[in-house]
Structure 1
Amino acid sequence: MSTYAIGDLQGCLDPLKALLDRIHFDPTSDRLWFVGDLVNRGPQSLEALRFVRDLGDSAITVLGNHDLYLLACAFTDKQPKPGDTMDEILEAPDRDELIDWLRNQPLIHHDPELNWTLVHAGIPPTWDIPMAMAQAKVAQKALRQSDPMPFFTAMFGEHPAYWSDSLSKTLKIRYTINALTRMRYCTADGRLDLKEKRPLDEVSPDLIPWYDMPRRASRDARIVFGHWSSLGEARDRRKTWGIDQGCLWGRSLTALHLDTRPATVISEPCPRYRELGKHKE
């Protein structure tokens, strides 16, 4: 049995199928961990969502920011933006089943036997894994309620940039969502910077990748994440692996074999999406 973490799909199903052939995936014994952002901007969002859902117990996925935006469009008056590819899901005959399945997926997954943690964007510097799991559980409970509007009310906004036990429940949920699904950089004093997306060599030296933060509370944990296609090659960065290799932009879809020491990278080139990516990046 092997476990593979898979980078952001964003509606690109054909490269996933090719990658699964490349790793000789066996759904009766192997397991797939998806880093989130199953949908949006690629040409097969509906098919990709159905495919991952139908993998059943062979797959685990955490929620990414694009997945959460799809849920917001399903439950609120939010509308897809130009360039989004979510209408096909929102208008599908099995829409309700897909949306219900998606909102029951976690924000973070930890496997103590494998000793790996799966998250879409990262773990904020002041949180260890138990803290991240506990706060994710609070947010997940709000999302799964019969009326999830309080969750979506909390979801949108840049504030707060810092974590504090004194925050209201709404602001704690917002911070949790922003940290786990949107974070890339932090300031030296631990504030989340949610705007900067550029590669490391193009940003202000005042910004620090979350995994490089001094005295990061989760520094002893092995973490696999997506969300950051401009980060560069998939490699070990202080026990963290960023595996969004920009499939949507015509680069590659990556699998990380979590059972090997060190973890092994397997990639499927995605040149067919190069022209599509020029209009979306």
Structure 2
Amino acid sequence: MTVYAVGDIQGCYDELQTLLTKVAFNAEKDELWCVGDLVNRGPKSLETLLFLYEMRHCVKLVLGNHDLHLIACFYDHDRLKKHDTIQDIIHSKQGTTLINWLRQQPLVYFDPVRCIAMVHAGIPPLWTLEDSLMRSAEVEKALQSDKEIGKFLKNMYSNDAVNWHESLKGQERLRVITNYLTRMRFCKLDGTIEFNSKEGIDSAPSGYMPWFEVPHRKMEGQDILFGHWAALEGRCNEPHVYALDTGCVWGSCLTMIDVETKQMYSTNCTAIKGK
């Protein structure tokens, strides 16, 4: 069995199929891991989600910010934005099935056999692996609860939720966890995050650095797969940390990694995306 992990697909269904063909992916014996942002901005979000759902027996995934946005828009159509390309999912006959499936997915995944973690945006430097899994589980519990999901989605994101401390409670606590795991790029030594800077490593605001470059971060030396940061172009120059978002939806390429050998595979985008 070979395990492949793919960067942010964002509805780039054709490129995903090209990559799977390139590596001769076999759904009966191989596994496909997805680092989140399965949908939105690309042209075939519904096709992508249906494909992954139909082969869910061999798919592992974590939720990204666009996936959470899809879930929120499914329950409240007023949250749709001008450039969203997820309306076909929301209005699909299979929409409820697909959303319920996404609601069961984690924000952090860890494979104890291969000793590798997967997250959409990153792991805050102050958290251990155990911390990350436990705090991800708090958000997962809210997503999976019919009683709690509405409150969670309403309060899910805020640019004011930028720093973790253990005394956080309720929706504020869930909001900070979600921001870290699905939106983080740059942070300070104390874990404070910043949301406006989305370019490469050299664009860090004063006092901030990429989350994976923070000295003495708790998961240093642990293999981590992540996406979210297309401007890195797949390069982060940090041992054991693998950036898989190479901006296919913005006209670049889609990238996949063999989880065990760390060999990379890419395919160029086939159409103008990201509008």
Identify the residue that residue 118 of structure 2 maps to in structure 1.
Answer: 118
User: What is the identity, as a one-letter code, of the residue corresponding to 1:145?
Assistant: S
Report whether the alignment pairs 1:12 with 2:12.
yes
Contact kept in structure 2, 1:11 and 1:40, CA below 8 Å: yes
Deviation at 1:159, TM superposition (A): 2.7
- State the Cα deviation string for residues 169-221 of structure 1 (Å, max 9, x = none): 21111111000000000023321112210112233342200000111011121
Contact kept in structure 2, 1:5 and 1:258, CA below 8 Å: yes
Contact kept in structure 2, 1:142 and 1:151, CA below 8 Å: yes
Deviation at 1:234, TM superposition (A): 4.1
Aligned length: 274
SS in 2 for 1:50: helix
SS in 2 for 1:41: coil
User: What is the identity, as a one-letter code, of the residue corresponding to 2:170?
Assistant: K
Identify the residue that residue 181 of structure 1 maps to in structure 2.
Answer: 182
Contact kept in structure 2, 1:211 and 1:238, CA below 8 Å: no
- State the Cα deviation string for residues 99-123 of structure 1 (Å, max 9, x = none): 1111111111000111110100000
Identify the residue that residue 264 of structure 2 maps to in structure 1.
Answer: 265
What pairs with 1:1-281 in structure 2 (closer than 5 Å)? Answer: 1-76=1-76, 78-147=78-147, 148-234=149-235, 237-260=238-261, 263-270=262-269, 272-273=270-271, 275-277=272-274, 280=275
Contact kept in structure 2, 1:119 and 1:223, CA below 8 Å: yes
User: What is the identity, as a one-letter code, of the residue corresponding to 2:40?
Assistant: N
Partners of 1:43 and 1:269 lie apart in 2 by 15
Partners of 1:182 and 1:46 lie apart in 2 by 23
- State the Cα deviation string for residues 28-60 of structure 1 (Å, max 9, x = none): 111111001010011100000101111122111
Partners of 1:166 and 1:137 lie apart in 2 by 17
Deviation at 1:232, TM superposition (A): 2.5
Contact kept in structure 2, 1:5 and 1:33, CA below 8 Å: yes
Contact kept in structure 2, 1:122 and 1:184, CA below 8 Å: yes
- Please list every run of 5 or more consecutive structure 1 residues that lacks an aligned counterpart in the other structure: none
